[in-house]
């Protein structure tokens, strides 16, 4: 990732209004900041959340709270807890999120 046109700034995430994104089951609440070519999000998944799509976008994801199961279209599954992360490039491994217990994530893409 090459970060371009992003000036130094701080973010008080409690001041960013959350947007709701329904899943196949449950809901994701995103607090989003976009600058230049970077999108940074604080995302909370409700308990039982299942994404409604396979994502092809590259991300760096850090689990802050709860449990995240990342399913890859090829059938692999990875379970991540607090302090664990994953990264994937654009177009490399279509994936979707599942969170039986709910989770809070930090995502950069």
Q: How confident is the model over 34-64, as pLDDT tens digits?
A: 998 899 999 999 999 999 999 999 999 999 9
pLDDT band at 6 (very low <50, low <70, confident <90, very high): confident
Q: Summarize pLDDT for 56-93 with one digit per residue, the tens.
A: 999 999 999 999 999 999 999 999 999 999 999 888 88
Q: Going by DSSP bridges, is the β-strand pair 103-108/59-66 parallel, antiparallel, or unpaired?
A: antiparallel
Rg of the chain taking only CA atoms, in angstroms: 14
Any domain includes 66: yes
pLDDT at residue number 82: 98
User: Residue 50 sits in which domain range?
Assistant: 19-108
The answer to whether residue 2 is domain-embedded is no
> How many structural domains does the chain have?
1
Question: SS3 for 24?
Answer: coil
Residue 1 scores a pLDDT above 80: no
For 98, residues 6+ apart whose C-beta sits below 8 A from its C-beta are 49, 50, 51, 68, 69, 70, 71
């Amino acid at each position: 990732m090459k970060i371009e046109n992003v000036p130094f700034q701080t973010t008080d995430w409690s001041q960013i209004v959350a947007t709701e994104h329904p899943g196949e089951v449950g809901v994701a609440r995103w607090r989003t900041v976009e600058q230049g070519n970077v999108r940074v999000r604080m995302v909370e998944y409700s308990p039982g959340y299942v994404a409604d799509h396979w994502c092809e976008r590259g991300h760096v994801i850090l689990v802050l709270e709860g449990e995240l199961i990342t399913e890859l279209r090829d059938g692999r599954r990875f379970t991540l807890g607090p302090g664990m992360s994953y990264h994937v490039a654009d177009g490399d491994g279509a994936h979707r999120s599942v969170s039986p217990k709910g989770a809070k994530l930090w995502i950069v893409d």
